[in-house]
Structure 1
Amino acid sequence: MATITTGINAATLNGRHHKAALTVFMVIVVAHWAEHLVQAVQVYAWGWPLAEARGVLGLPFPWLVTSEWMHYGYALLMLVGLILLRKGFTGSARTWWNISLGIQVWHHLEHLLLLLQKLSGVYLMGRPVPTSILQLIWPRMELHLFYNAIVFAPMVVAMVLHRRAHAGATCTCAVAH
């Protein structure tokens, strides 16, 4: 039986396929970020009640907004993407990528906590709904806008620095000057 292989491993993912992998990853990240921004516009600019402000995809598929599995899956996807693509970064770009990764580790743990509460029916501090640790201080919508911003910002800095021609690069992401 023939084995089908893509020929993509960790070395090529962070080498000749790094630019393509980063592009796919960033499309996913920006689409998710846009969902949070649209939800904020729906609440703050258009005056929609929070229960009706579901972003773009949540309007036709309202279960997406309330699915802890979907939110956890995205947080896990972000974490895995940041880990898998990390080796392609060097120097100060790697430092900024690591900052994004560190923040995403926390964001992922918060989503894991929410998922475990949803599955167990036992909620943090006796709250009536699954609640993350920082959600004890900030409302969920605003907290996740904040989380996505503080993960995204250092990621963008890392990518800008990464695209500059640099010594030690193993990929083809750098823009020729």
Structure 2
Amino acid sequence: MATPTISATTLNGRHHRTALAIFMVIVVAHWAEHLVQAMQVYVWGWPLSEARGVLGMPFPWLVTSEWMHYGYALLMLVGLVLLRKGFTGRSRTWWNISLGIQVWHHLEHLLLLLQKLSGVYLMGRPAPTSILQLVAPRMELHLFYNAVVFAPMVVAMLLHRRPAEQTGATCSCAVAH
């Protein structure tokens, strides 16, 4: 018996709604990790070194792993690229905005990973540092990045579900009213 495969056509066609749901669960889980970490610092008053989100508590190496952070940034980029063809009209515009911001976010994580691997840090800093980290602390910067990637993604998905926005779409994500 042959193993069924999902092509880019079916991913952005009959499997688009399911793929978007899975992608959104991953995105929201990651976003929640950042929000919990911020709550640990700003609400509970924990020092940043102790504020590790939910998964970072039992697995502290996750917070300091540039590989894990880069992997997530790459996963986001790949997901945004793979699911893009299913969007049309205004929803495609908002999805593209999210994708464009994620390209920059991914490049920042690539820079961090390359510094970690080489031991040579940006502008002589004592630890890997991204470009925008030169003006904003890392935790707050990543809250910002996740917010500005997430917000247009949500707008795109809400627009995408409107039947009027489905002109030329190959999926059945629209909700009938």
Instruction: Please give the range of the TM-score, normalised by the shorter of the 2 chains.
Output: over 0.9
Alignment counterpart, residue 139 of structure 2, candidates 138, 141, 146: 141
Q: What code does the residue aligned with 1:72 have?
A: Y
Instruction: Give yes or no for the alignment of 1:14 onto 2:27.
Output: no
Q: Secondary structure at the match of 1:175?
A: coil
Q: Distance in 2 between the 1:8 and 1:173 partners?
A: 17
Q: Distance in 2 between the 1:113 and 1:5 partners?
A: 38
Query: How far did residue 169 of structure 1 move?
Result: 1.5
Instruction: Give yes or no for the alignment of 1:130 onto 2:120.
Output: no
**Alignment map for 1:12-161 (pairs within 5 Å):** 12-161=10-159
TM-score normalised by length of structure 1: 0.97
Q: Distance in 2 between the 1:170 and 1:12 partners?
A: 9
Q: Distance in 2 between the 1:80 and 1:122 partners?
A: 28
Query: How far did residue 148 of structure 1 move?
Result: 0.2
2:3 corresponds to: 5
Q: What code does the residue aligned with 1:125 have?
A: M
Instruction: Give yes or no for the alignment of 1:168 onto 2:148.
Output: no
Name structure 2 gaps, 5 residues minimum. Answer: none
Query: How far did residue 5 of structure 1 move?
Result: 3.2
Query: How far did residue 129 of structure 1 move?
Result: 0.1
Q: Distance in 1 between the 2:3 and 2:101 partners?
A: 34
Name structure 1 gaps, 5 residues minimum. Answer: none
Instruction: Flag as ranges the 4+ runs of structure 1 deviating above 6 A.
Output: none
Q: Secondary structure at the match of 1:88?
A: coil
The size of the alignment, in residue pairs, is 175
TM-score normalised by length of structure 2: 0.97
Q: Distance in 1 between the 2:60 and 2:160 partners?
A: 38
Q: Secondary structure at the match of 1:60?
A: coil
For 1:81-121, what per-residue CA distance to the aligned partner results, in whole angstroms no more than 9, with x for missing partners?
A: 00000000000000000000000000000000000000000
Query: How far did residue 6 of structure 1 move?
Result: 2.4
Q: Distance in 2 between the 1:144 and 1:5 partners?
A: 39
Moved more, 17-26 or 162-171: 162-171
Computed over aligned residues only, the root mean square deviation of the Cα atoms, in angstroms, reads 0.8
